[in-house]
Amino acid sequence: MTPQPLLKAAANFRAVAPYPAADGRRLRPNSLYRSGELSRLEEEDLQVLEGLQLRLVCDLRSSQEQGKYVSRWPDGSPHRHLDLPDRDTSNAGPEKIFEMITRLPGDAGARQAMDMLYRRKPQAFAGNLRRLFDAITAGDAVPLLIHCHAGKDRTGFIVAMLLAALGVGRADIIEDYVATAQFFQVEVESAAMVGWAQRSFGHVLDPESVVPLVEARPEFLEASLAAIEAGWGGTERYLREAVGLTDGQRDRLRDVLLEPSPV
């Protein structure tokens, strides 16, 4: 059975489960949320958000996305807003992905495109992770929300690396990523992506070819983890060497987001 969404007009808004983490501790319940865009929230949704009392909102969208899909918030919301747009200018952007699918339509082309997209994320998002960790450890950051437009790819990688820094196991990190499929409306998002490809880049795509682009397949996130393993030997070295996470900051991060150590 598909879980009921927390917000009516943002189905992919959810709390990350209190997974086991470092030193026998767990993620604090309702301390970390993830979502897609929040421009269509209804009054009932705003009341739910008001009750959550979010303290830090990390927005991974570009300025163009933020301008077109303006987030709605309760009046007087106390949260800090942290903009962390994807500034990557590599050949893994949407136009390149749509070109690949046009040349190689069907599941194979989409899988190749997503593999390329996820393998470049560790390098592309290292600076953003550093800024996010700085913001969390600066204080007054919980509950925390991380979101992008769909709440799957950019949000999926950032949340995965945050969970890794907290000592959450690989299987649970993959489980959280794949859980997005329970909240994501694949048919709606596929149709929207076809329209975006034609409107913005002039590519006419087969709707079936874009379905993998809007799915949360475990092999997508596994591609990022494989790139981290190849480049740094694992997430611990990646977080330390590429992101700049020190042992002291890691411990502070865990104190903020994890339950106290068991007695």
List, by residue number, the catalytic residues. Answer: 148
Question: Residue 67 belongs to what H/E stretch?
Answer: helix 63-68
Q: Give the SS3 label for residue 14.
A: strand
Question: Residue 121 belongs to what H/E stretch?
Answer: helix 121-124
Q: How far apart are CA 117 and CA 105, in angstroms?
A: 17
Q: How far apart are CA 153 and CA 1, in angstroms?
A: 24
Q: How far apart are CA 78 and CA 88, in angstroms?
A: 30
Joined tokens for residue 138: 């600066």
Cβ atoms < 10 Å from Cβ of 101 = 23
| Helix and strand numbers, DSSP H then E, in the chain | 13, 5
Q: How far apart are CA 207 and CA 203, in angstroms?
A: 12
The residue assigned the tokens 């509950």 is 143
Q: Give the SS3 label for residue 81.
A: strand
